[in-house]
């Protein structure tokens, strides 16, 4: 298991290096203008030269992403529990949630700036809003998929509904919750960047917007490199959480 | 007079809805404590419905149904249940699966470790106490489910086609195992099955049900001495009971289910 992860990691790194080398060769062979597509070596040099600054900006984006993500997980699970637990909630709230989910959340970003200003709050709010539905939908699905035999077992054992929820229903739903969290993490990152696009003086989204304004394509790509790296690390983190949280499940690479 | 473990008087069960199926039609029986009762019938005869009514998982439409002298409303105290699919919790080790009823009953798991070990020894699962269910074979999983149903010493054990999902060899073995386990415990068992041979092999009493509506056709006493070896099934006495039951099914109108009772 450990071994296969190392192998996947090594193979992935190898492919990445091959792509970067090819990219470098193609750029030099066809003398592509750096403003269209800069050299990977130039991008890496840019990252190295201003490492401290990029690190600071990345931390800001990482912070808003994680804050939005965590709020989305907590709120999403609670909303899902309320939906599954109460007919009333389900009847009145679920259609509203489904309807709200079909609104492109990105389109709401400017509104949040009006409401919350230009600090971290609107970015966190957008990251949360984009991510929360994935958590709700997958958690509801998980809570509803408890096998009928196991529900009967719970009834025959006559435990408290507290016990049944925490010892049976929630663990049953856990794999779905974690699957929802994986999706939510990627979406929270999207939300944070969109928030920074709309209005910000900080973060990777801000770098991309401002560098684009001055045709500093190297800088745009530098931010994209960091974003890609961040996405992979966050996803890997959740895959690790998944293995730790559900040790009874066979290992599945995806 | 002692109180029957299970007592049914004219129990009817009709499912709700316009074309509500009459699942049980006037079931009347007294089951004395300490008997192993096989409930036998073809698919759709309401045998599982009867069991679920005894377990308090479903309400009866009319009649009287008592467990240990108390009318059933909701699951009675002191019952254990085994389902067709073992209903083990995948995220708990076998030991912790066995302790679930103890935790739900708000008793101290620490005091039941000895009991758990004893049951695991009895079923040959001692080495798998720390394993997760997915690491066990189907037969082993079902044995673990039986242990879980027995951990809190239920006076009444309800088994809903527990070996229905197992292959024929495992099933034979499990029949033998169950008899051995039960001979140590001697509680009351209701065992739902559609296998005639299984029903006769295990039961002190066989309740034969007919399908649609589910009626109690005959109650057969099986007086074969225990412990019964698997080879008891080749004896003339065993064969006589089996062919008698088969003749009951031959006289039933099984409709589209013809032959399902074998």
pLDDT in tens, A119-159: 899 999 999 999 999 999 999 999 999 999 999 999 999 98
B153 touches chain A (CB under 8 A): no
Residue appearing with tokens 């919790």: B89
The pLDDT > 90 percentage for chain A reads: 70
Q: How many domains does chain A have?
A: 2
Q: Using CA atoms, how far apart are residues A203 and A68, in angstroms rounded to an integer?
A: 15
Chain A contact for B135 (CB, 8 A cutoff): no
Q: Note the pLDDT of residue B150.
A: 93
Confidence class for position A252, pLDDT limits 50, 70, 90: low
pLDDT averaged over chain A?
A: 90
- Least CB–CB distance from A153: residue in B56, B83, B84: B83
**Shortest alpha-carbon distance between residue A150 and chain B (Å):** 5
The pLDDT of residue A211: 93
Q: Note which residues in 56-95 of chain B have CB less than 8 A from chain A.
A: 56-57, 74-75, 77, 79-81, 83-85, 87, 89-92
Q: Assess if residue A195 is contained within a domain.
A: yes
- Return the exposure string of A180-213: e unless at least 16 CB atoms fall within 10 Å of the residue's CB, then b: bbbbbbbbbbbbbbbbbbbbbebbbbbbbbebee
* Residue A203 and residue A93 share a domain: yes
For residues A193 and A127, what is the distance between their CA atoms, to the nearest angstrom?
8
Residue A3: pLDDT band (50, 70, 90) is low
Which residue positions in chain B have pLDDT lower than 50? 256-262
Each residue's pLDDT tens digit, A155-180:
999 988 899 999 999 999 999 999 99
CA–CA distance, B138 with B65 (Å, rounded to integer): 34
Inter-chain contact A149–B84, Cβ cutoff 8 Å?
Answer: yes
Residues on chain B touching A244 (C-beta within 8 angstroms)? none
Selected residue of A154, A156, A162, A168 to mutate for chain B interface (largest B Cβ count, 10 A):
A156
By C-alpha distance, the chain B residue nearest A150 is B87
- Is there a single domain that holds both residue A96 and residue A15? no
pLDDT at residue B255, rounded to an integer: 53
Q: Does A168 sit within 8 Å of B89, measured CB to CB?
A: yes
Does A96 lie in the same domain as A20? no
Q: Would you state the pLDDT for residue B202?
A: 96
Is residue A144 domain-shared with residue A27, that is, in the same domain?
no
Q: Which two tokens stand for residue A226?
A: 């960091």
| Cβ distance of B104 and A250 shorter than 8 Å | no
- Residue A136: the pLDDT is 95
CB contact B165 to A (< 8 Å)? no
- Co-location of A223 and A158 in the same domain: yes
The rounded distance, in Å, linking the Cα atoms of B57 and A150 is 12
Q: What is the mean pLDDT of residues A232-243?
A: 90
CB-nearest partner of B104 from A149, A163, A246 = A163
Chain segment A210-236, per-residue pLDDT in tens: 999 999 999 999 999 999 999 999 999
pLDDT tens by residue, A83-107: 998 888 888 888 888 888 888 888 8
With an 8 Å Cβ cutoff, are A248 and B90 in contact?
Answer: yes
Strands B79-82, B156-160: pairing is parallel
Residues A93, A134 share a domain: yes
The pLDDT, as a whole number, for residue B16 is 82
Examine the domain organization and report whether A26 and A112 are in the same domain.
no
Q: Do A248 and B85 touch (CB under 8 A)?
A: no
The answer to whether residue A105 is domain-embedded is yes
Q: Quick one: A215 exposed, middle or buried, by C-beta within 10 A (0-12, 13-18, 19+)?
A: exposed
A166 and A68 co-located in one domain:
yes
Tell me the CATH number at A238. 1.10.3720.10
Band (pLDDT 50/70/90 cuts) for residue A7 is confident
Comparing alpha-carbon positions, the chain A residue that sits nearest to B55 is A156
Q: Note whether residue A40 is domain-resident.
A: no
Q: Are residues A114 and A227 in the same domain?
A: yes
The answer to whether residue A42 is domain-embedded is no
Q: Is residue A206 part of a domain?
A: yes
Rounded Cα gap, residues A25 and A15, in angstroms? 15
| Within a domain: A137 | yes
Angstrom distance (rounded) from CA B134 to CA B138: 9
Residue A77 lies in a domain: yes
Whether B87 and A152 lie within 8 Å, measured CB to CB: yes
The pLDDT of residue A65: 97
Asked whether the beta carbons of residue B104 and residue A174 sit closer than 8 angstroms, the reply is no
**Residue-range definition of the domain harbouring residue A11:** 1-31
Same-domain status, A218 and A159: yes
Residue A239 within any structural domain of the chain? yes
């Amino acid at each position: 298991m450990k071994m296969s992860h190392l192998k996947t990691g090594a193979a992935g790194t190898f492919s990445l290096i091959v792509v970067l080398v090819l990219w470098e060769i193609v750029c030099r062979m066809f003398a592509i203008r750096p403003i269209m597509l800069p050299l990977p070596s130039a991008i890496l040099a840019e990252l190295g030269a201003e490492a401290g600054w990029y690190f600071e900006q990345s931390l800001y984006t990482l912070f808003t992403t994680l804050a939005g993500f965590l709020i989305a997980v907590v709120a999403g699970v609670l909303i899902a529990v309320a939906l599954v637990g109460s007919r009333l909630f389900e009847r009145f709230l679920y259609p509203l949630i489904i309807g709200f989910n079909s609104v492109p959340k990105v389109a709401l970003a400017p509104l949040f700036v009006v409401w919350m200003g230009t600090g971290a709050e609107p970015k966190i709010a957008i990251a949360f809003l984009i991510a929360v539905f994935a958590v709700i939908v997958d958690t509801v699905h998980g809570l509803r998929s408890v096998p009928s035999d196991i529900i009967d077992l719970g009834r025959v054992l006559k435990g408290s509904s507290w016990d049944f929820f925490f010892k049976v229903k929630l663990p049953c739903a856990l794999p779905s919750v974690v699957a929802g969290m994986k999706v939510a993490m990627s979406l929270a990152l999207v939300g944070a960047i969109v928030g920074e696009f709309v209005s910000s003086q900080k973060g990777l989204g801000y770098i991309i917007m401002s560098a684009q304004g001055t045709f500093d394509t190297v800088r745009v790509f530098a931010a994209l490199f960091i974003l890609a790296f961040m996405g992979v690390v966050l996803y890997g983190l959740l895959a690790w959480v998944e293995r730790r949280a559900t040790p009874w499940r066979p290992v599945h690479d995806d | 007079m002692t109180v029957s473990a299970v007592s049914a008087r004219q129990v009817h069960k009709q499912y709700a809805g316009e074309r509500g199926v009459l699942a049980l039609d006037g079931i009347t029986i007294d089951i004395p404590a300490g008997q192993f009762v096989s409930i036998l019938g073809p698919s759709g005869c309401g045998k599982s419905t009867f069991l679920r009514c005894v377990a308090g998982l479903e309400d009866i439409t009319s009649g009287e149904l008592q467990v240990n002298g108390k009318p059933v409303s909701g699951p009675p105290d002191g019952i254990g249940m085994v389902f067709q699919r073992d209903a083990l919790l995948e995220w708990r080790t076998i030991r912790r699966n066995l302790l679930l009823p103890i935790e739900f009953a708000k008793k101290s798991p620490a005091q039941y470790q000895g009991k758990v070990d004893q049951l695991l020894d009895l079923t040959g699962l001692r080495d798998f106490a720390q394993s997760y269910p997915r690491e066990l074979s189907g037969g082993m999983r079902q044995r673990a489910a039986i242990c879980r149903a027995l951990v809190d010493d239920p006076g009444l054990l309800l088994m809903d086609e527990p070996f229905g999902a197992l292959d024929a060899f495992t099933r034979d073995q499990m029949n033998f195992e169950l008899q051995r386990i039960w001979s140590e415990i001697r509680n009351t068992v209701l065992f739902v099955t559609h296998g005639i041979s299984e029903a006769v092999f295990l039961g002190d009493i066989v309740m034969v049900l007919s399908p649609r509506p589910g009626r109690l056709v005959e109650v057969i006493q099986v007086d074969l001495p225990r412990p019964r070896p698997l080879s008891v099934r080749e004896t003339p006495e065993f064969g006589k009971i089996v062919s008698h039951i088969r003749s009951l099914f031959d006289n039933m109108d099984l409709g589209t289910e013809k032959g399902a009772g074998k």
